């Protein structure tokens, strides 16, 4: 009989208890698409018709969403293309709890409307004592956009020429600032700026002075910048975009600015991202003067930039909760990482795979800590593994260096070593 006639009909395939259960969980369209794909492969002779149900079962996605989990073994801790910081278990739990109906904007004691985001704002001002108030928006760019619109639309923002930064994917901070209707007043040269440059540029049209952390590059050599502590002498607000989202100083990143020290040094407001070194969800943090934060919150644009309950929940749990995966990664010792790499390489060799272990250098990435090298360790494999791992059943993003495929363990939780082992074995 023609093999095609043996391909089971869709309704019959969907009678399979596993696939029928998946319809409840994932929805009919998702399961149908998986079934149709298996039937198509059988029609093209790529699959035994008897295996259609089994193949459909195997191809069922973990969730109805199309995004897939990827193991980050590329040695860039906060990779923007991988969604930057992974959430802590505490944050994931908080998201799950907030996903239904919640008291996000309801005061349960009075039964009246309550202030939105009160929990996360309290968590942020407790974590950063120098901040009188806090406001949360959609991302770091939104935080800058709100500040520029509310405090400088139709007026001037004074900033150093060396801080006109392009962050990534063509996103330029100066373009964002001018799109709000503010004008830029650049001071100094690419490599040097002095206090007097700022002072002479200040006038009745000045909205604020902005300092931008050059988060993905460094200018070295004959340079000078003006610290926030000096700029505070100026008769206008000083806003610092620290980017990285560190709330307090971190010993592994001594040169990275943090909100507490920047505000204590005299900045009126700090803007930062939630999903970089803070290790939380995508969000933009605005911390500092109560008066300025109130002006931002009351600006009509604030409504367009506000975050949803899931972000509020994840961010509060990130700030209050246990060490985030990002913080844990920063604390991992090179010796421990090398130990793990050796154990993994030994297990892979037992399975006949040409693996070895070596020390490696990881980076922070995602616009944080430029030039900071994180001592790390990696499993090395032949280079052809890189593409195979990326397109495997559990995708793994590795790094290719000197003709080798490196699985850098810096950003891999120890609990995921087994996942890595299985992924490599599966494509080996
Ligand atoms: C990352 C970054 C931004 C943009 O923040 P997003 O959260 O990506 O919108 C702005 N400024 C600096 C200094 C940054 O590092």
For the CA of 216, the nearest atom of ligand 1: 15
Query: 285 C-alpha to center of ligand 1: Å?
Result: 11
Query: 172 C-alpha to center of ligand 1: Å?
Result: 10
232 vs 410: CA distance, rounded Å: 39
For the CA of 215, the nearest atom of ligand 1: 15
Matching fold, domains 71-84+327-427 and 89-322 = no
Would the CB of 257 count as within 6 Å of ligand 1? no
CATH code of domain 71-84+327-427: 3.90.1150.180
Pocket probe mutation, ligand 1, options 79, 217, 241, max atoms within 8 Å of Cβ: 241
2 vs 5: CA distance, rounded Å: 6
Would the CB of 245 count as within 6 Å of ligand 1? no
Query: 41 C-alpha to center of ligand 1: Å?
Result: 45
Enter the pTM of the model.
Answer: 0.92
Q: What are phi and psi of 114, to 5 degrees?
A: -115, 170
171 vs 190: CA distance, rounded Å: 19
Greatest Cα pair distance in the chain: 89
Q: What is the pLDDT of residue 387?
A: 97
Q: 89-322: which CATH architecture?
A: 3-Layer(aba) Sandwich (3.40)
Q: What is the pLDDT of residue 298?
A: 97
Q: What is the pLDDT of residue 343?
A: 98
Exposed, middle or buried by CB within 10 Å (0-12, 13-18, 19+), for 416? middle
Facing residues of 239 across strands? 210, 269
* Domain extent listing, the chain: 3-59, 71-84+327-427, 89-322
Q: What is the pLDDT of residue 367?
A: 65
Query: 257 C-alpha to center of ligand 1: Å?
Result: 13
CB–CB of 247/208 below 8 Å? Answer: no
Would the CB of 146 count as within 6 Å of ligand 1? no
Q: What are phi and psi of 96, to 5 degrees?
A: -60, -45
> What percent helix, strand, coil does the chain show, rounded to 5?
40, 20, 40
Residue 84 CB coordination number (10 Å): 25
Those residues of the chain that have pLDDT short of 70 are 1, 367-370
77 vs 194: CA distance, rounded Å: 34
């Amino acid at each position: 009989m023609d093999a095609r006639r043996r391909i089971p009909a869709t309704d019959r395939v969907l009678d399979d208890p596993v696939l029928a259960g998946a319809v409840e969980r994932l929805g009919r369209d998702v399961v149908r698409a998986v079934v149709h794909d298996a039937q198509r492969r059988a029609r093209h002779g790529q699959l035994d018709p008897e295996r259609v149900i089994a193949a459909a079962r195997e191809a069922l996605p973990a969730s109805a969403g199309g995004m897939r989990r990827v193991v980050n073994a590329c040695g860039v801790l906060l990779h923007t293309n991988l969604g930057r910081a992974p959430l802590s278990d505490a944050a994931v739990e908080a998201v799950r709890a907030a996903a239904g109906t919640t008291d996000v904007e309801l005061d349960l004691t009075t039964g009246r409307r309550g202030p939105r985001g009160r929990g996360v704002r309290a968590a942020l001002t407790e974590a950063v004592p120098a901040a009188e108030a806090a406001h949360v928006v959609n991302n770091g760019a939104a935080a800058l956009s709100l500040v520029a619109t509310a405090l400088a639309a139709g007026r001037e923002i004074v900033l150093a020429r060396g801080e006109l930064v392009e962050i990534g994917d063509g996103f330029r901070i100066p373009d964002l600032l001018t799109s709000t209707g503010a004008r830029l007043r650049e001071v100094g040269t690419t490599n040097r700026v002095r206090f007097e440059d700022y002072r002479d540029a200040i006038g009745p049209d000045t909205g604020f002075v902005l300092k931008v952390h050059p988060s993905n590059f460094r200018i070295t050599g004959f340079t000078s910048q003006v610290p926030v502590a000096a700029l505070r002498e100026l008769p206008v607000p000083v806003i610092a975009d620290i980017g990285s989202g560190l709330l307090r100083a971190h010993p592994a990143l001594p040169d990275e600015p943090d909100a507490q020290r920047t505000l204590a040094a005299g900045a009126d407001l700090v803007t930062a991202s939630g999903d970089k070194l803070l290790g939380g969800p995508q969000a933009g943090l605005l911390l500092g003067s109560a008066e300025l934060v109130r002006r931002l919150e009351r600006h009509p644009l604030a409504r367009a930039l506000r975050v949803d309950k899931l972000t509020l929940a994840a961010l509060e749990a990130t700030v209050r909760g246990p060490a985030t995966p990002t913080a844990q990664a920063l604390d991992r010792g090179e010796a421990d990482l090398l130990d793990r790499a050796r154990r993994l390489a030994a297990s892979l060799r037992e399975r006949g795979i040409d693996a070895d272990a070596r020390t490696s250098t990881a980076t922070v990435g995602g616009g944080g800590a430029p030039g900071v090298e994180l001592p790390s360790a990696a499993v090395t494999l032949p280079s052809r593994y890189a593409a195979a791992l990326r397109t495997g059943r559990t995708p793994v993003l590795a790094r290719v260096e000197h003709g080798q495929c490196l699985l850098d363990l810096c950003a891999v939780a120890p609990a995921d070593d087994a996942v890595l082992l299985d992924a490599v074995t599966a494509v080996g």
